[in-house]
Amino acid sequence: MVKIAAARVDGFIDRPDGAAFAVLIYGPDAGLIRERADRLAGNLVDDPSDPFSVTELSVDDLKSGAAPLVDGAAAMPLTGGRGLVRLRAATDGVSGAVDALFEAAAGLPQGGRFVIVEAGELPPRSKLRQAFEKAPSGAALPCYADDAGSLPAVIVEHLRRMGMEIDRDAVAFLAERLGSDRGVTRSELDKIVLYMGGLEDDGATARIELADVMACIGDSGAMSIDAVVAAVAGGKRLELEQALSRTRTEGVSPIQLMRAVGGHFQRLHLAKGLAETGLSPEDAMGKLRPPVFFKARQDFRRQMSGWSMDGLTRVLAMTAEAEADCKTTGLPADAVAERAMLRIAQAARVR
């Protein structure tokens, strides 16, 4: 098979392709990887926690060779049914074992155990990723962080399943602060559900408003990220240094910061482009999804006016380059990200 397009991943998990008996679930969003792997496991076996139906493997189990993986896939469950093998935290170091698994595919018993391999972010040339993408009986499912287009739906759907409705401003507030990890997103939403449950005393469906959301997550690390983005885009160097100090204390990764800054400038670029087609700044901002948080609209409008399209394009290239340098150069990621943000803030100050 091949890499499954991101838009088709959920459909594949609900109805796995009959030709595939082994799946790689990978990407930068660890929470989404866990969620999808657990969903797929639940669709394949009655009880994913049953040790008689599910074989759990680690990377250490494969250091001596591919036998544990191949034998695990060939073993018939004692309790009947399909059965499952799960390998977590995989890296390119297990690609040889995976190659051996696919080479042995023809000799595996009909209805043998399905194999789920979980990994982090893998480049296109990753040996592990290529093994799954090229194998006729394999599939690779990417898990990218929720973005401005998908996150509002995730928020609304999760809360609706909990029997709650949420105001548009509250969705916008959450969409600007969550999304880097699906597990963290759901954890924050569950926190809001718990908070609202404590307020309900008449059995009515709770409606979540902006004040409720701010009371629950207003003091989270996301607020520090917002402060970094605002300082960079506003050209406020002193505020930026203070905000960066807070994010370092809170353990926010430099890559997460660069993505937040890049995401903000992408929205500025889109709104600026819409305004140059003849829309008013207000109408241009109104086209953005999620909408600009109402308390930030004045600053956003000022930034739209201060930046040119060429300047915004250069900033987007700078953030992409800085993120790549954080991952590949071996230089201290904190220093790489901080230098890029200071350069952008200086450019904003000049403007």
237-268 pLDDT, tens digit per residue, is 888 888 888 777 777 778 888 888 888 888 88
Mean pLDDT of 321-327: 84
CATH 1.20.272.10 residue ranges of the chain are 221-350
Q: What is the pLDDT of residue 222?
A: 59
pLDDT tens, residue by residue, 50-88: 988 999 999 999 999 999 999 999 987 766 667 999 999
**More confident site: 128 or 28:** 128
Instruction: Give whichever of 151-155, 205-209, 272-276 has the largest mean pLDDT.
Output: 151-155
Percent of the chain residues topping a pLDDT of 90 = 26
Tens of pLDDT, residue by residue over 132-174, are 999 999 999 999 877 767 888 889 989 988 888 999 888 888 8
Residue range 6-142, CATH number? 3.40.50.300
Instruction: Summarize the confidence of residues 305-310 as an average pLDDT.
Output: 82
Using CB atoms within 10 A of its CB, is residue 201 exposed (0-12), middle (13-18) or buried (19+)? exposed
> CB-based burial of residue 192 (10 Å sphere; 0-12 exposed, 13-18 middle, 19+ buried)?
buried
Beta strand 54-57 pairing with 164-166: unpaired
Amino acid at 327: K
Residue range(s) in the chain whose domain bears CATH number 1.10.8.60: 151-217
In CATH, what number does 151-217 get? Answer: 1.10.8.60
Q: Which tens digits make up the pLDDT trace of 82-127?
A: 799 999 999 999 999 999 999 998 777 766 799 999 998 898 899 9
Question: Looking at the predicted structure, is the pLDDT value of residue 27 above 70?
Answer: yes
pLDDT for the residue numbered 33? 92
Its CATH architecture, for the domain 221-350, is: Up-down Bundle (1.20)
Q: Please tell me the distance from the alpha carbon of residue 330 to that of residue 284, in angstroms, as a whole number.
A: 40
Beta bridge partners of 119: 90
The pTM of the whole model exceeds 0.75:
no
For position 103, what pLDDT does the model report?
A: 93
Statement: residue 308 has pLDDT above 70: yes
Name, in order, each residue with C-beta under 8 angstroms of 285's C-beta and a sequence gap of 6 or more. Answer: 271, 291, 292, 297, 300, 301, 304
Note the Cα 84 to chain centre separation in Å.
25
pLDDT at res. 218: 55
